Chain A
Amino acid sequence: MAKITFITSDEQRITVEGFSGSVMALAVENGIKGIDGDCGGVCSCATCHVHVAPEDVSKTREASEIETDMLELDDHTDQYSRLSCQLQISEDLDGVVLRVAK
């Protein structure tokens, strides 16, 4: 189980619990605004972009090459950017704070 906090563009902090699957699916299930996941979670659309809080980067695994490449589609990408469909929920992620990208 992992507690995951999303900060939406209107500065709402929403903490939800997830057990398995991707962070994108968890966000969609909980109606987190700004995470669309248009392609259904196969790293094809880059509409589930989040920024990991700098202090939480160690909770996440490194991004794959395709994820890093796809992130380049977005002008707001920075070193903390991830596609949340590629973040798998596990206990390692517990407590992570993710800011939904603009």
Chain B
Amino acid sequence: MSDVSLVENLAENQICVIIGASHAGVNCAFALRKEGWEGKIMLIDSDPELPYHRPPLSKTYLHSSEALGQNLLKSSESYGKENIQLLLGIKALSIDRKTQNVQLDNGTWQAYDKLVLATGARAMIPSIRGLSEAKHVYPLRTAADVNGIRDKISKNPGQDVVIIGGGYIGLETAASLRKLGAKVTVLERESRVLARVTAPEMSSFFESLHAANGVSIHCNKQVISIAEDGEKVQVICEDGSSFPADLLVLGVGIQVNSELASAAGLQIENGIRVDETSCTNDPNVYAIGDCTDHFNPHYKRYLRLECVQNAVDQAKIAAGAICGKDVFYDAIPWFWSDQYEVKLQLVGLSAGYDEAVLRKESELVFSIWYFRGNELLAVDAVNSAKAYVWGTKFIKSGEPIDKEKLKNPEIELKSIGK
């Protein structure tokens, strides 16, 4: 173990270790340099690939033949240029907060002055009988997962694919595999797709969209077991129905990678608890991205978000705070999903809404505006960047909206304020 306290405490001798090199970790490393961090930056990830964009994995990367290299977060030269040391294919095993060291699986301990946990999440593997023994089962979280799906499907594009889970990952994967010619079935446990994240109108739109593109969606399907069936598997549901699959994709959500933090005695709630500067209950340890449970000042509650926006925003806040800047997190979350030719853009959080106002420009261009009383909470916009942009502006400004004007697509969005 090295002991940094023996070294003269010069800025250039300080070490910031970042665990996790996806959107949050990589952005934090670069933001640290931008904010003036003069010391070492070490970015560690168990994924051996040069850090890449995750959102395309279920979208363009899955249905095209593009190389992962076209989806890099930063070029390999950029890390050298900014003097950021990348340790890929290396796993952090434990954190000793007392001596400020991280134990790595290459047999070494790495000392830190500041530690950033950007450990993200992993695909949830549901407990379904026969699943762990079944072949051709793919979660969808990493490049390796998607490369596996690409390889399997390339052998025969017309294969039967069953996707468990009708959330964003499940539906995007359905659209991408459909594009490749697969026969796709989606099994959703709830009574509608996207049930956890959107209004019933939006769920019906996506159900129809997928049906029109030849995807067979079945709701209220609780998968209880997977049975071998020659080269295929049978996906068996509680109601006795079963679906044959050459390939089974799991899209049932994620599990937060909080074990490292938890074992180190950091506060864990619905993720690693951080304050408005993304700092944990240890002043030398920060946490950013999907793994954090953080307070959102706009919605006045603690949240855990799975999105690029939060990863990037928290990365910048943590970097600023580590460099002594007076910064705090105050962001409106935003997301997007691309399926077929449809672009869905979402801003804000709709949880707790009591009224959903539909603004319909056409069958394929519309938006849903979620209100609690007169307060606009969130907007889901389908093929309508305008609604997304104006929704963002109204959520930020808090300017009251005339709902009757909003409903009327003849009235421009910039004129819907009261």
> Are A70 and B74 in contact, CB atoms less than 8 angstroms apart?
no
Residues in B with CB closer than 8 Å to A45 are 308-309, 334
Instruction: Judge whether B408 is part of the interface by a CB distance below 8 angstroms.
Output: no
Instruction: Judge whether B14 is part of the interface by a CB distance below 8 angstroms.
Output: no
> Are A31 and B77 in contact, CB atoms less than 8 angstroms apart?
yes
Q: Please report the C-alpha to C-alpha distance between residue A15 and residue B301 in the assembled complex, in whole angstroms.
A: 46
Q: 6 A-B Cβ contacts within 8 A?
A: A31-B82, A38-B308, A38-B312, A42-B343, A69-B386, A73-B389
* Residue ID in chain B nearest A66 by CB atoms: B385
> Are A39 and B386 in contact, CB atoms less than 8 angstroms apart?
no
Residues in A with CB closer than 8 Å to B336 are 39, 42, 44
- State the Cβ distance, A12 to closest chain B Cβ, in Å: 13
Residues in A with CB closer than 8 Å to B60 are 42
> Are A44 and B81 in contact, CB atoms less than 8 angstroms apart?
no
* Residue ID in chain A nearest B337 by CB atoms: A44
Known interface pairs A40-B55, A40-B56. Does A70 touch B75 (Cβ–Cβ under 8 Å)?
no
Q: Please report the C-alpha to C-alpha distance between residue A48 and residue B70 in the assembled complex, in whole angstroms.
A: 17
Instruction: Judge whether A28 is part of the interface by a CB distance below 8 angstroms.
Output: yes
* Residue ID in chain A nearest B75 by CB atoms: A29
Quick one: which of A36, A42, A66, A73 contacts B392, CB cutoff 8 A? Answer: A73
* Residue ID in chain B nearest A30 by CB atoms: B75
Quick one: which of A21, A31, A44 contacts B78, CB cutoff 8 A? Answer: A31
Quick one: which of A25, A28, A69 contacts B389, CB cutoff 8 A? Answer: A69
Instruction: Judge whether A72 is part of the interface by a CB distance below 8 angstroms.
Output: yes
> Are B81 and A31 in contact, CB atoms less than 8 angstroms apart?
yes
Quick one: which of A28, A31, A39 contacts B308, CB cutoff 8 A? Answer: A39
Known interface pairs A45-B308, A69-B385. Does A40 touch B53 (Cβ–Cβ under 8 Å)?
yes
Q: Please report the C-alpha to C-alpha distance between residue A73 and residue B387 in the assembled complex, in whole angstroms.
A: 11
> Are B312 and A44 in contact, CB atoms less than 8 angstroms apart?
no
Q: Please report the C-alpha to C-alpha distance between residue A30 and residue B74 in the assembled complex, in whole angstroms.
A: 9
> Are A28 and B55 in contact, CB atoms less than 8 angstroms apart?
no
Give residues 26-56 of A contacting B (CB, 8 Å): 28-31, 33, 36, 38-40, 42-45
> Are B75 and A31 in contact, CB atoms less than 8 angstroms apart?
yes
Instruction: Judge whether B338 is part of the interface by a CB distance below 8 angstroms.
Output: yes
Q: Please report the C-alpha to C-alpha distance between residue A10 and residue B137 in the assembled complex, in whole angstroms.
A: 50
Known interface pairs A38-B312, A42-B338. Does A28 touch B74 (Cβ–Cβ under 8 Å)?
yes
> Are A72 and B74 in contact, CB atoms less than 8 angstroms apart?
no
Q: Please report the C-alpha to C-alpha distance between residue A79 and residue B34 in the assembled complex, in whole angstroms.
A: 29
How many residues of A are in contact with the other chain, CB < 8 A?
A: 21
> Are A21 and B75 in contact, CB atoms less than 8 angstroms apart?
no
Q: Please report the C-alpha to C-alpha distance between residue A29 and residue B34 in the assembled complex, in whole angstroms.
A: 18
Extra contacts besides A28-B74, A28-B75, A69-B388 (18): CB < 8 Å:
A28-B72, A29-B72, A31-B74, A31-B77, A38-B312, A39-B308, A40-B53, A42-B59, A42-B336, A43-B385, A44-B345, A45-B334, A66-B343, A69-B384, A69-B389, A70-B385, A72-B386, A73-B392
* Residue ID in chain B nearest A74 by CB atoms: B389
Q: Please report the C-alpha to C-alpha distance between residue A96 and residue B336 in the assembled complex, in whole angstroms.
A: 31
Residues in B with CB closer than 8 Å to A38 are 23, 308-309, 312
Q: Please report the C-alpha to C-alpha distance between residue A66 and residue B388 in the assembled complex, in whole angstroms.
A: 10
Instruction: Judge whether B71 is part of the interface by a CB distance below 8 angstroms.
Output: yes
Contact with B along A6-29 (1 / 0, CB 8 A): 000000000000000100010011
Q: Please report the C-alpha to C-alpha distance between residue A59 and residue B271 in the assembled complex, in whole angstroms.
A: 49
Contact with A along B286-309 (1 / 0, CB 8 A): 000000000000000000000011
Contact with B along A53-83 (1 / 0, CB 8 A): 0000000000001100110110000000000
Q: Please report the C-alpha to C-alpha distance between residue A92 and residue B71 in the assembled complex, in whole angstroms.
A: 25
Q: Please report the C-alpha to C-alpha distance between residue A96 and residue B74 in the assembled complex, in whole angstroms.
A: 23
Give residues 119-144 of B contacting A (CB, 8 Å): none
Residues in A with CB closer than 8 Å to B56 are 40, 42
* Residue ID in chain A nearest B383 by CB atoms: A66
Residues in B with CB closer than 8 Å to A30 are 75
> Are B70 and A39 in contact, CB atoms less than 8 angstroms apart?
no
- State the Cβ distance, B304 to closest chain A Cβ, in Å: 19
> Are B389 and A70 in contact, CB atoms less than 8 angstroms apart?
yes
Residues in A with CB closer than 8 Å to B386 are 69, 72
Residues in A with CB closer than 8 Å to B75 are 28-31
Q: Please report the C-alpha to C-alpha distance between residue A15 and residue B74 in the assembled complex, in whole angstroms.
A: 18
- State the Cβ distance, B358 to closest chain A Cβ, in Å: 19
Residues in A with CB closer than 8 Å to B308 are 38-39, 45
Give residues 295-340 of B contacting A (CB, 8 Å): 308-309, 312, 334, 336, 338
* Residue ID in chain A nearest B335 by CB atoms: A44
Contact with A along B69-104 (1 / 0, CB 8 A): 011101101100110000000000000000000000
Residues in B with CB closer than 8 Å to A66 are 343, 385
Give residues 54-70 of B contacting A (CB, 8 Å): 55-56, 59-60, 70
Quick one: which of B59, B70, B309, B392 contacts A21, CB cutoff 8 A? Answer: B70
